[in-house]
Amino acid sequence: MVPPLSLRTAQTYAGAAVVVGALALALMQSRPQGPLPETHPTPVQTAQEFYAGAAQAEAEARKKAGNRFRGSPWSQEDEAHNKEARFIRVQARTRRTSVPDLILALDRGMREHWSTAPYAAPSQKVLPCRPRLSY
């Protein structure tokens, strides 16, 4: 004959079952929901068009960041790069290419001096990291 479970043991088993169920649900939600989108290598003309658009977007992002964070160049850079990263992710989805391909297009465009709109050449400077002392 099996002795009956105490109330504390039953509560422990019920709590463990709830935790295991929550973990299983989290794992099921985090799995891929379908096939990954097919990507294509970026042709040179498309890369050049992307570079020109990215240079223009960077100029606008830097201007807005300069107005938003006056007197804090590090925060301006952080804001501009955040917008640039968002722009690249959106363009990668739109153009059905990968983010690394677009980053390589930016790098190649800067090295080979691809044409951009006037006053829209991407900045190649890197500011030293000097964050604010108080947040």
Provide the residue-wise pLDDT of the chain in tens; the chain has 135 residues.
Answer: 566 767 778 788 888 999 999 999 988 887 777 776 666 778 889 899 999 999 888 888 888 888 888 888 778 888 888 999 999 999 998 888 889 999 999 999 988 988 887 777 666 676 666 666 666
| Residue in the structure block whose two tokens are 């959106």 | 90
Two structure tokens written together for 103: 């980053």
Locate the domains of the chain by residue range: 44-112
Q: For residue 93, what are the contacts with CB-CB under 8 A and spacing of at least 6?
A: 37
Q: pTM to 2 decimals?
A: 0.60
What local confidence, expressed as pLDDT, does residue 88 receive?
A: 92
